[in-house]
Amino acid sequence: MRCALIGNPSVGKSLIFNQLTGLGVEVSNYPGTTVELMQGKLCHQGSTLQIVDLPGIYSMDGDSAEEELVRTYLLSEPPDAVIAVLDATRMERNLYLLLQLAEYGIPMVVVINMIDEAAQQGIIIDSGRLSSVLGAPVIETAASLGKNIGEIIPTVLSSARPAGIAVPYTPQIEAAIRSLGKLYGATRLQALHALQGIGSASELVEGARTIAGEIEALNHMSAHQIIGANRHLCARRIAADVVGAQEPDRRFSADRLLTKAIPGIPILAVVLLSMLLTVFIAGSFLEELIVEIFTLLVIEPFQTLSLPPLATALGMAVLLAIVAGLGIAFPFVLIFYILLSIVEDTGYLTRAAFLADRLMHGLGLHGGAIIPMVMAFGCNVPAVMAASQLRTVRERTIAAFLVTMVPCSARTVIITGIVAAFVGLWAALSIYLIVLVLIILTGVFLARNIPGGQYGMILEMAPLRMPDPVLVMKKSWGRIQEFLFIAMPLLLAGSVVLGALDYYGVVDAFSLIVAPVSEGYLGLPAYVTTALLFGILRKEMAFETLAVLSGTADLGSVLTGVQLYTFAVISVLFVPCISTIAVILRQIGIRVTLAVSAYTITLGFLIGGLIHFIAG
Ligand SMILES: Nc1nc2c(ncn2[C@@H]2O[C@H](COP(=O)(O)OP(=O)(O)OP(=O)(O)O)[C@@H](O)[C@H]2O)c(=O)[nH]1
Ligand SMILES: [Mg+2]
């Protein structure tokens, strides 16, 4: 048996899905979290059920990718039952979708989720009454508390049935439905779709177009609009019937403060800055701790072993890679993801997107793109994935450029580990400033020069709520896995290769070749440029390779401040790491990948040369 979860965005479908199946689909207080169909299985009293988590949608008849996905899914492979999830605090709007869903005639169970929040807001729902109005079973749940989730499957199995309710449309629409039925044998659903111009060219769609044209001429409103208005009216009536007295929302005033330019923008700046500072401070603290413990317990004992030289070289390379990955990058990445999950689940991120909207428009993006931009501080890889969800090619292209320029945690490691440690805190901050200016210039330039229109942003404010610590940790863990299981192995493999190349003298030979450019143009010893190139594998590798090749972790003793600064700026700017390149290639395309790589290499070496020219 197959069963699908359908509902508006952010009503808790994925959380219910996870609780039913025991899987870990991403759950977040940000509309549009699930963008594709997710499947899971569960066993109930000996029989296996397949559960499908669908993206959240506001309507079944629109033309967004998510709406089309849900519609095609229901039409082409109708599940045996649907679980319609509603948000108890927004019944009217949720019922609008439910009324449309009812027209598909698939057996359903209605789940009114977030009943805990409704209770807090003084909203009372008469679910018995709703059940008799809809003609389908209704269950009240609070997924975050696990309340009544256990009742869903038994109810689906015992009493799911097609909802009996039908929206009463205006006489003209009803007449059109009847004649389309008579003329083309269309069902009510097919006739409604055809009247709204949904579906591929067919006699029915052609015939419906003529009728819809007549209706439009008579009403000065398209059939699509009339149908929508009828459904809204019906949803409003049902909501008025089943939803009890509602107290004014107390969170309203907090929202006013967060979304008005003043004090909203200063608050946003403080939030972003404190996120960065927390990552810096807590990250460095953990970093030192881990590196010290690791050196004491692993590296020092390893050095006292008398192994053959090649084994020592390779072993050291692996150990250094583990310190670089687990000890240095991990604390930064983990803390960043925890902070991001918290900001997301409080509902603040939607306010940030709203505030950033105007600013981002200057860069050719809309406020929603603030999410990939902020995520990029953690790691560019998930940020590019998020950017590839933007609506137009133009936006995706611009976002790919800007996201890859944002200093990710690995680059933060270079900035803190090299510049802050050996040159100074202000020098480190100045790198962020340089990057910020370059990002703005790039965005403005691309926005002016890439053709294509700009979409406005339609983003629903997520409700403000206390994040659930367990969910926050689960989500951060889910995100960190990419780092642990994809980046770490890459880092280890890269280090072994580096160790071998160094051992056999290949690194030295390579250094000879790059020496003229490196020394003449950038003012850097040749091995430093070699280290830079290793940064393509993984940005931390640049740092680590530099330490390996210069033979000491105390970089200040072998390179001057300007040299270290130049090195850091170039590695921050030039080419994203290999994982980022791969993900741009997969999600956005080869042309953008090549353009981004060429652009960032040029930028890195131009600015690097400039610094040497001015300060060297
Ligand atoms: N208070 C409360 N919060 C809930 C409940 N159910 C879900 N949430 C929270 O609501 C937010 C949205 O949950 P998701 O499961 O991601 O929602 P979704 O319907 O899958 O959303 P999309 O994938 O965007 O369509 C998360 O922050 C959940 O923790 C509930 O019953 N009560
Ligand atoms: Mg979801």
Mean pLDDT of the chain: 86
Please, which pLDDT band fits residue 246 given cuts at 50, 70 and 90?
Answer: low
Atom nearest to 57 CA in ligand 1: 25
Pairwise CA distance, residues 451 & 393, whole Å: 10
- The SS3 assignment for 472 reads helix
Q: Which residues surround ligand 2, an ion (CB under 5 A)?
A: 14, 33-34
The tokens for 321 are 């890679």
Is the N-terminal amide bond of 162 cis, ω within 30° of 0? Answer: no
Q: Compute the distance from residue 89 Cα to the ligand 2 centre, in Å.
A: 18
Ligand nearest to the CA of 347: 1
Ligand nearest to the CA of 27: 1
The answer to whether the CB of 28 is under 6 A from ligand 1 is: yes
The answer to whether the CB of 10 is under 6 A from ligand 1 is: yes
Please, which pLDDT band fits residue 147 given cuts at 50, 70 and 90?
Answer: very high
pLDDT, position 62: 81
Q: What is the pLDDT of residues 400-439, one digit of tens each?
A: 999 999 998 788 878 887 888 888 888 988 999 999 999 9
For ligand 1, atom 30, which residue shows the shortest CA distance? 114
Partners of residue 38 on adjacent β-strands: 53
Domains in the chain, please, with CATH?
2-159 (3.40.50.300), 171-242 (no CATH), 269-302+317-454+469-615 (no CATH)
Across 12-32, average pLDDT: 80
Any idea what the Cα angle at residue 561 is, between residues 559 and 566, rounded to 5°? Answer: 90
Q: Among 223-232, 393-402, 582-591, name the one with the lowest average pLDDT.
A: 582-591
DSSP state letter for 89 = G
Across 507-528, average pLDDT: 87
CA distances to 312, 313, 498, 499, 545 from 307, rounded to whole Å, are: 6, 9, 19, 15, 22
Strand order in the sheet with 38-44: 38-44, 47-53, 2-7, 81-87, 108-113, 138-140
Across 255-263, average pLDDT: 79
Q: Compute the distance from residue 56 Cα to the ligand 2 centre, in Å.
A: 7
Helix 348-362 with 425-449: angle, nearest 10 deg: 60
Ligand nearest to the CA of 349: 1
